[in-house]
Amino acid sequence: MTTDGRVALVTGANKGIGHEIARQLGEAGVAVLIGARDADRGRVAANELRQSGIDARHIPLDLSDEESILEAARTIGQDFGKLDILVNNAGITDPEDGVPSVASTHALRRIMETNFIGTHAVTKAMLPLVKKAPAGRIVNLSSSLGSLALNGDPTSIYYAAQLLGYNASKAALNMLTVQLSEELRGTTVTVNSVSPGFVKTDLNGHTGHLSVEEGARLPVEFALQGADAVSGQFVEAGGPTPW
Ligand code: NAP
């Protein structure tokens, strides 16, 4: 497939929503880098997209390994000299997470390490390349569970899912969105938190009610925003999510 010259990195793109985001970006004519920590899973995922005519290649990337993050940034810099789209998709839940009286300390550390600290490390490493693109787009895969307001609202459909570690990690990710968006105010780079909805994936034992195709749609829309792009938003299908 011929690409339009844009290049995207999707973290955790070997499966789930990330893999589908990569597919939809590829179908839109963007060259996609399949960030995956496992080389075999990453190569298989990239091959599958290439068989559909998408310009996809695996790039080794483990959010808990800073050297792999810096190496990925060096590779993208050498091969492309810029990064048009960064989709921070990789994320985890943890079986030892739960309400505050139950959640294990180790689980909280593991979740924050990947969903917030690792995502920040990737973003920081890629930022110089994103700034070199004509109109960089950073999309953070957040969750409505990261909304402080909805966690305290018994009428919310999300109220029952009080997972301290996971929800706090997405609230922290939202802080990255707000602060980085402010830091980049006046530039052409945008940063947004997008909630994909409750999607059937390994993350939730396939209990979600949306397909990955449906879940990838809004993150892709924000990744492909044009000249009138918004920044610093927290959105889900249907509109803004309360912080
Ligand atoms: P998934 O199917 O479990 O996929 C998660 C991806 O993240 C996998 O590729 C996984 O790689 C990767 N990953 C995890 N830790 C990593 C690390 N340290 N380094 C690199 N990659 C890592 O989950 P999903 O449902 O597609 O979730 C994608 C994103 O959407 C997550 O940020 C999640 O929080 C968010 N989200 C999902 C839902 C939902 O309903 N599914 C709702 C709201 C938000 P491995 O295969 O190697 O484990």
Judge whether 42 lies within some domain.
yes
- Give the separation between CA 231 and CA 139, rounded to whole angstroms: 10
Q: Which residue has the tokens 């080794």?
A: 60
Judge whether 108 lies within some domain.
no
Q: Across the chain, what does the average pLDDT equal?
A: 97
Catalytic entry in 15, 82, 166, 200:
166
Domain residue limits at 32:
7-92+116-144+167-234
Report the CATH number at residue 67: 3.40.50.720
Judge whether 184 lies within some domain.
yes
Percent of the chain past pLDDT 70, that is, above it, reads 99
Judge whether 202 lies within some domain.
yes
- Give the separation between CA 130 and CA 136, rounded to whole angstroms: 5
Q: Which atom of ligand 1 is nearest to the CA of 208?
A: 40
Cβ-based neighbours of 110, under 8 Å, separated by 6 or more: 92, 94, 165
The pLDDT score that the predictor gives to residue 112 is 98
**Region 211-227 average pLDDT:** 97
| Residue 1: pLDDT over 80 | no
Total number of domains constituting the chain: 1
Judge whether 65 lies within some domain.
yes
CA 85 to ligand 1 center in whole angstroms: 18
- pLDDT per position as a tens digit, 134-193: 999 999 999 999 999 999 999 999 999 999 999 999 999 999 999 999 999 999 999 999
CA 205 to ligand 1 center in whole angstroms: 12
Strands (E), 176-232: 190-194
Active site residue 170: yes
Pairing label, strands 234-236, 239-240 = antiparallel
Active site residue 158: no
Pocket test of ligand 1: the residue of 92, 97, 117, 192 to mutate, having most ligand atoms within 8 Å of its CB, is: 92
192 three-class SS: strand
Judge whether 159 lies within some domain.
no
Burial label, 2 (beta-carbon count in 10 A; 0-12, 13-18, 19+): exposed
Q: Which residue has the tokens 């990690």?
A: 169
Strands (E), the chain: 7-10, 31-36, 56-60, 85-88, 137-141, 190-194, 234-236, 239-240
- pLDDT per position as a tens digit, 47-83: 999 999 999 999 999 999 999 999 999 999 999 999 9
- Give the separation between CA 106 and CA 158, rounded to whole angstroms: 24
| Among the listed residues 115, 64, 117, the one whose alpha carbon sits nearest the alpha carbon of residue 94 | 115
Written as one string, the DSSP assignment of 129-183 is: HHHHSTT-EEEEE--GGG-HHHHT-TTSTTTT---HHHHHHHHHHHHHHHHHHHH
Confidence class for position 3, pLDDT limits 50, 70, 90 = confident
**Region 120-133 average pLDDT:** 98
- pLDDT per position as a tens digit, 9-23: 999 999 999 999 999
